[in-house]
Structure formats: structure tokens, C-alpha cells
Amino acid sequence: MKPFQTFDGLVAPIDRANVDTDAIIPKQFLKSIKRSGFGPNLFDEWRYLDVGQPGQDCTNRPKNPDFVLNQPRYQGAQILLARDNFGCGSSREHAPWALEDYGFRVIIAPSFADIFFNNSFKNGLLPIKLDAAELDVLFAQCEATEGYRLKVDLAAQTITRPDGKAIPFDVDPFRKECLLNGWDDIGLTLRHDDEIRAFEAKRRTEHPYYFA
Amino acid sequence: MAPQTLYEKLWSSHVVHQEADGTALIYIDRHLVHEVTSPQAFEGLKLAGRKPWRISSIVATADHNTPTDHWDEGITDPVSRQQVETLDANIREVGSLAYFPFKNERQGIIHVIGPENGTTLPGMTVVCGDSHTSTHGAFACLAHGIGTSEVEHVLATQCLLQKKSKTMLVKVEGQLGRGVTAKDVVLAVIGRIGTAGGTGYAIEFGGSAIRSLSMEGRMTVCNMAIEAGARAGLVAVDETTIAYLRDKPFAPKGELWDKAAAYWRTLKSDEGAQFDKIVEIDAATIAPQVTWGTSPEMVTTVDGRVPDPAQFADPVKREGAERALKYMGLAPNTAITEIAVDQVFIGSCTNSRIEDLREAAAVAKGRRKAASVKRVLVVPGSGLVKHQAEAEGLDKVFLEAGFEWREPGCSMCLAMNADRLEPGERCASTSNRNFEGRQGAGGRTHLVSPAMAAAAAVTGHFADVRELA
Ligand code: SF4
């Protein structure tokens, strides 16, 4: 996993609540057995006017001019502003894979669906929960200012607006540590392999019916 | 010891290690695997040179991509076939406690086959790379949907990194009215608390109305806990649970059974246990439910009307409702019973078990699919369900009514195989998600119970199953 430290990126807004994982990456793309290459199909049904198929070259597909990410001013966006309950729906990790592959590194929303939130951290994508009022300001500024950028400092836990105001955010210390260092969860967990073995042996004795 | 909730009991009996900030390593007893969310995990494991920690925890099947007809032709979509074959190869290489591949008589939707084979047992932690893993909570299991990185993590370490959830008790007291099912209960709960209402919580469903549900009904309720935002749903063990599990193929036998059952009977919230939140619902007030929008919380009763977005005070909700009505092609204030459907889908891990099929068949019996309805798909949740239904003659009832009787799988719940809606088509569906495009790009989904789906099939529009008598 790529380590995440400070980061300065162009911002794009998706101003709707309950953006679900079917919208983020429609199911026909889940047939892939790979982890990469989902970026061109991010928000496929909103982004294109035709129906996308896996394995298709997307460069010449008709784009929906009304979809926000298709506007020229948001090309190259790396920070996404979103509304409540972003990423609700399925457990598909293809959702953060698609966001990351498209180029997003940070998603800022008032709330996220649990599994999506979890999956994001495992893929170097930082989901930040921000107070709705604070976020309203970001939406307004972003829409009013072409080329609107934000600076995200994970170590300091701040988002800095172009006007210089720094907004603090919360992040779980353990996840922060992993993300800052680009640590692999599995490697970390296996440091406790003795404890896992001991736990398992005890459970096997106390509850043998789970080990049949 | 202070009184504990069921969730706390399950949590504390699985903590292997805890970090200072509360992040814990939780031991996983059962790992359910299907073809869509596992290939990248097996690949990652191999690339890192790691071995699975405990093969006997793995139960696998192919369900999402498998066709539901023309099984003799195999899987004709090459991309789907590759995914299913990748699972075959991975399980062959790695091993498992049980594998029910495509065409096996016990193959089916992972959340249907786990319980029916007795591989889901009370007190376990159960994970699967699928959000509807919450289904298994009906057996007082701590059951979570996980992402693919976590699938790999569980394969490699037999553990999951987790933070303890908050606890919510949804208490449904009283008696459900005639024609009101588990599906209506859970849709009514989601209508009340919203699709994010359970975020951060494990929801325990309790109260006399839940106690009176069969295991299948409890699974329907827990299945949709995730649609309320909760990663896990739970129902305490009682004699209904114990009776269901007795003699299931993988359930313990003899002395082990007695020992297990004695432990399982302790798996309930203690008297006086504290929940972070309690929601109370009077069962008698629940009517058959129909969703009208593109999120399961956009739901009303069959005798209700499509809401008028202008009446929503919250601007985000108003906009959401406007967008949903536009997508659904519905005008505000339309009576639900005036909405005509093009297709009907009876199936999915929410409602494809034998009792669901019996409910649908009871309505279909002696009636015919309305001429205006293009297709009614009945897709059993597993080979065993299909077998049982055929033994009871339900297949005949459906076929005589002009419905299609299919092979088991996820089918039109998410339309990864050939079963799907055309753009603009409207469907009465017993599945769990009415998101845009879920059942096919541009398709319009209304979530209902199996009886209500059958009622829509025979009348051509939503109809109050209580009046069909
Ligand atoms: S039936 Fe639907 S919800 Fe259930 S596992 Fe299959 S695709 Fe997922």
C-alpha cells in the first residue's frame, strides 16, 4: 500500500446523499478477477450515456455532459466532497479500487457506510468525516471557485482551505499509523501469531463443535 | 458480572488481542467464500507466499454469476465463467470444509446454504465478502460482511481487525397482522430508522413479534440489517434456533450436540443489559410494505401513496426524493396500488427459502400471471430449497400460474447473470436493494415480500395481499 502523508489536490463535489456502491461501480465490472483497471468505469451509469461492458475501451464512449466529473474544471480531481452515507450498499472493494484507480486519494463526507469506510483505508484512500456545516462551506467554495484545491495533512489531521483556514479532523490512531507508513494489515496481524494460536487452541478445547 | 448484551458476549468471546485505541483482533470461526469477492484475495495470498490459516473454516459456493436456466449449456458468458472457474481452481488448491460448486445439488446462495447445512452455528463469528452476511446473525452469530482485503486477511490470519460496535435493540412487540411477514417488519424498521440509522451499531432484534418468527423469517430480518446501515444483525438463541439446527449435516451430533446446545442457550442479552439505543415498534401497526424510491428507506405501506417531495422539510431528503421519483418514473401522490409492474422477481438471500416460496405459492395457486406482466421469475435459494419445493409441488403451482421456475442462484437480485430488467422496466422484487440499476441498467425496483410479489404478478400492479384472500 502507498503511504499517505500530506497531500494537495483538486477537489470535485458530488452533491447527493446515499451514493451507493452500485453507483460507484456497477456490478458488471465485478466479474474481473483483477484489482486494478476499474477507474474508467467509476460511476459508469452516471458518467456515460451508453451501458458499459467489462473489458471495453471507454475512451470513445458518449459521456454524460451533466455529470459533474465530466466537467472540464474537475478533470484530474483527487479529493471528493460527498454527502451522508457515502458508499452504502455492498461490501465490494471494487468501489474503493475504482475511486483510487480514477485518481482519488481523499473523500470527505459527513458520514460513510461502515464497510466502505473500512475498505478505503486498506487501499490508501482516506475517508474523512466532517461536520455537515463545515462541509457545506467546502461545497460552496468549491462550486464558486474553479481550480479549487485543498491540502490534507494526515499527520497533523487537518484540511487546509485556500483561504488558509485549517479544519481539524478525527482519524483512528491505528489506521492513521498504518496509512502513514503504508503498512500491510496482514503483516501486522501475523506479528501476533502466537496469540492467535493460543486463542485457537483454547477455543478448540472449550468449543470443539466449531472445529469439526 | 454486569449484565451483558448478546453482542458483547459474542465480541468478548472472540477477542484475541486488543490495541490501546480499542482496535481488536477478532478470531473468525467460519469463512464463507463466493466467486466475486475472493479471486483477488487468493491471488494476494499467493503473491505474498502465505498459506490459509485454517482450511476447515472455509465454506464456498458459486452463486452470483451462475445462470438460472439452461444448466446443460454451462456458463456461456466467458467473463462469468472465468470467475467461477477461478473459484474452482482456488478451492481445489487450498481446500475447504465444504464446497458446493456450480451444478452441485447443494449449490445455492451462500447465505442460504450456510444455515441449511448447519455450517452456521450460534456463537460463531461468520464472515464473507458480501454485505448480506448479516443474515447469519439470526443464529446469534456475530456475522459481518467484509471487503476483499479482509477476505485475504482472514484467509491468512483467521482474524479480522475490528472496533467494537455500539449496540441497538429493535424491539418489535405484539402480533403481526395477517399477510404481514418478516420482510414487512424489516422494511418498516428501515423506514423508521433510515438506511444510515444503524451505522456503527450491531442491531439486536427482539420482542415477541421477532420471537414468534421462524428461523427463516429471522434470517430475512437480519439479512436487511445492512440496509439499515448496521454491519451485523442479531437474534438471540431460543428453542426455535435449537430445533432448526438439530440434524443439519454439519451440526454437531451426540454428546457434542448436547454440550453445544447448552452453551447456545446462554446466547441472549442478559436481563438489564444496557443498549446504546432502543427502538420500539408495535407489530400490530405494520402493514405490507412497498418501496417507492431508490433506497430501502423510501418505503410506505401498500395502502399508501408515493410521497410528494415538496412535503420534505430536509432539503437533502427532498432532492433525494425528487431524484428517486424521476428515476422511478412516478408522480407524487400516486396510489401504490395503481403502480403497474413489468416483471416480478421472487428470490435472493432475503426471500428464497422454502417458507418464502410457500407464501408466494399460496397467493399464486389457482391464479394466473396478469397478461401485462412480461415475466415472473421464481429462483430458489439453493438446490435443497428447489428439491423441497418440488417435493411439495410448488413448482407446479408456479408453472400453472405462468411463472418461470429456475435453478438456484442470486439471479436478478443483482443481475450479474442473464436475468435482468431492461431500461425503464418496473419490477416487484423480493430482494433487498432497490438502488438505481441494481436489477439492470435503468431498471426500477420495488421491494416487497414474497406474498406481495405474487400478488403483483397475478394482478399486474401492487395489490394488498390481505384483500386477495
Ligand atoms: S442474493 Fe443478492 S444480496 Fe444476496 S448474496 Fe446474492 S447478490 Fe448478494
Cβ–ligand 1 distance for B109 under 6 Å, the answer yes
- Mutation choice for B interface testing from A25, A34, A88 by most B CBs within 10 A: A88
Burial A159-172 (b: 16+ CB within 10 A, else e): bbbeeeeebebebe
Q: In whole angstroms, what is the distance from residue B103 CA to residue B193 CA? A: 40
More confident residue, A181 or B374: B374
Residues B175 and B322 in one domain: no
Residues B382 and B407 in one domain: yes
Q: Are strands B30-33 and B24-27 parallel, antiparallel or unpaired?
A: unpaired
Residue B8's pLDDT is what?
Answer: 98
Residue to test with chain A: of B136, B195, B322, most A Cβ within 10 A: B195
Q: Is B420 contained in some domain? A: yes
Instruction: Please report, for the domain that includes residue B149, its CATH number.
Output: 3.30.499.10
**Cβ atoms of residues B416 and A28 within 8 Å:** yes
Q: Which atom of ligand 1 is nearest to the CA of B110?
A: 5
- Cα B344 from Cα B427, distance rounded (Å): 5
B124: left (phi over 0), alpha (psi -120 to 50) or beta: beta
Question: Per the domain annotation, does B264 fall within a domain?
Answer: no
Ligand 1 contact via B57 beta carbon (within 6 Å): no
Find the range with the poorest average confidence among B7-16, B28-37, B49-58, B410-419: B410-419
For residues B11-32, average pLDDT: 95
With contact defined as beta carbons under 8 Å apart, do B413 and B432 qualify? yes
Residues B205 and B232 in one domain: yes
Distance CA B324, CA B65 (A): 28
Whole-number Å distance between alpha carbons of A11 and A164: 16
- Please check whether residues B152 and B208 belong to one and the same domain: no
Indicate if A48 and A138 belong to the same structural domain.
yes
Shared domain for A154 and A57, answered yes or no, is yes
Task: Based on the fold, state whether residues B126 and B23 are members of the same structural domain.
Answer: yes
Residues A145 and A188 in one domain: no
Whether A126 maps to a domain, the answer reads yes
Q: Which residues of B191-212 are buried (b: 16+ CB within 10 A; e: fewer)?
A: bebbbbbbbbbbbbbbbebbee
For the segment B383-411, the average pLDDT, to the nearest whole number, is 97
Q: Which letter does DSSP use for residue B422 in this model? A: P
User: If you write DSSP's letter for every residue of B259-317 in order, what string do you get?
Assistant: HHHHHHTT-SPPTT---SEEEEEEGGG---EEE-SSSTTSEEETTSB---GGG-SSHHH
- A18 and A106, same domain (yes or no): yes
**For residues B440 and B450, what is the distance between their CA atoms, to the nearest angstrom?**
20
Using the Cβ of A34 and the Cβ atoms of chain B, whether some distance falls under 8 Å is answered with yes
* Model pLDDT for residues B336-352, shown as the tens digit of each residue: 999 999 999 999 999 99
pLDDT at A151: 97
Contacts of A196 (CB under 8 A, 6+ apart): A189, B16, B17, B25, B27, B53, B157, B158, B159
Which residue of A18, A185, A210 is in closest CB contact with B320?
Answer: A18
**Ligand 1, residues B431, B438, B439, B445: which to mutate, most atoms within 8 A of Cβ?**
B431
ipTM over 0.95: no
pLDDT bracket for residue A35 (50, 70, 90): confident
pLDDT computed for residue A90 by the predictor: 83
**Together in a domain, B40 and B187:** no
Residue A106 lies in a domain: yes
In a domain, A86, yes or no: yes
Q: Is 70 exceeded by the pLDDT of residue B190?
A: yes
Q: Are A79 and A21 in a shared domain?
A: yes
Establish if B409 belongs to a structural domain.
yes
> Nearest residue on chain B to A191, judged by CA atoms?
B157
Number of domains forming the structure of chain A: 2
Long-range contacts of A176-183 (CB under 8 A, 24+ apart): A178/A1, A178/A121, A179/A1, A179/A3, A179/A4, A179/A121, A179/A124, A179/A126, A179/A154, A180/A3, A180/A4, A180/A5, A180/A154, A180/A155, A181/A3, A182/A1, A182/A2, A182/A3, A182/A4, A182/A124, A183/A1
Residue B365 belongs to some domain of the structure: yes
* A159 is a domain residue: yes
pTM of the model: 0.92
Mean pLDDT lowest for which of A1-15, A61-75, A102-116, B276-290?
A: A1-15
Q: What is the pLDDT of residues A195-208, one digit of tens each?
A: 999 999 999 999 99
Nearest-CA residue for atom 4 of ligand 1: B349
pLDDT at A54: 85
Q: Which residue has the higher pLDDT, A131 or B469?
A: A131
Q: Is residue A36 part of a domain?
A: yes
- Indicate whether A74 and A156 sit together in one domain: yes
Query: Is residue B390 assigned to a domain?
Result: yes
User: Does B141 count as an annotated binding residue?
Assistant: no
Our CA angle for B13, B15, B16, nearest 5°, is 125
Is residue B61 located within the same domain as residue B177? no
Mean of pLDDT values over B353-367: 98
What confidence category does residue A183 fall into, taking pLDDT thresholds of 50, 70 and 90? Answer: confident
DSSP state of A205: H
Is residue B1 situated within a structural domain?
A: no
Pocket test residue of B33, B59, B66, B111 for ligand 1, highest count of atoms within 8 A of CB: B111
Tell me whether residue A201 is exposed, middle or buried, using C-beta atoms within 10 angstroms of its C-beta: 0 to 12, 13 to 18, 19 or more: exposed
- Are the beta carbons of B196 and B229 closer than 8 angstroms? yes
Q: Give, as one character, the DSSP assignment of residue A124.
A: T
For residue A32, give its domain range.
7-181
| A100 and A202 housed in the same domain | no
In total, how many domains does chain B have? 3
The residues facing B108 across adjacent strands are B382
CATH of the domain at A84: 3.20.19.10
Q: What is the pLDDT of residue B469?
A: 63
What Rg, from alpha-carbon coordinates, does chain B have?
21
CB-based contact B52:B155 (threshold 8 Å): yes
Average pLDDT value for residue range B392-408: 97
B410 annotated among ligand-binding-site residues: yes
B462 with B449: CB under 8 angstroms?
Answer: no
CATH for B195: 3.40.1060.10
The residues, ordered by sequence, that sit 6+ positions from A133 with a Cβ below 8 Å of its Cβ are none
Is A1 part of any domain?
Answer: no
Percentages of chain B per state (helix, strand, coil), in multiples of 5: 40, 20, 45
Q: What's the CA gap between B139 and B223, in Å, rounded? A: 12
Q: Is there a contact between B325 and B331 (Cβ–Cβ < 8 Å)?
A: yes
Q: How confident is the model at residue A53 (pLDDT cuts 50, 70, 90)?
A: confident
Instruction: Say if residue B280's pLDDT is above 80.
Output: yes
Residue B79 is nearest to which of A31, A45, A90, comparing CB atoms?
A31
Could you report the per-residue pLDDT of A188-197, keeping only the tens digit for each? Answer: 999 999 999 9
Q: Are residues B114 and B180 in the same domain?
A: no
pLDDT at B47: 86
Quick one: B278 and B343 in the same domain? no
Note whether A189 and A206 are same-domain residues: yes
Are A177 and A189 in a shared domain? no
Same domain for B337 and B432, yes or no, is yes
Mean pLDDT confidence for A11-18: 95
What is the DSSP pairing of strand B289-291 with strand B201-206? unpaired
How many C-beta atoms surround the C-beta of residue A103 within 10 A?
16
Residue B134, SS3?
Answer: helix
Enumerate helices (H) and strands (E) in chain A, giving the number of each: 8, 7
B427 carries a ligand binding annotation: no
Residue B263 forms part of a structural domain: no
Query: How many angstroms separate the alpha carbon of residue B273 from the centre of ligand 1?
Result: 33
Both A194 and A151 in one domain: the answer is no
- Does residue A2 belong to any structural domain of this protein? no
Alpha-carbon span A84 to A16, nearest angstrom = 8
Same domain, B200 and B232: yes
Q: Which domain holds residue B439?
A: 289-467
CA–CA distances in Å: residue B207 to residues B86, B171, B180, B213, B350? 44, 5, 16, 10, 21
- Give B429's strand partners: B345, B447
Say if residue B136 is in the same domain as residue B52: yes
- Average pLDDT estimate for B310-329: 94
Q: The cell 442479552 sits on which residue?
A: B269
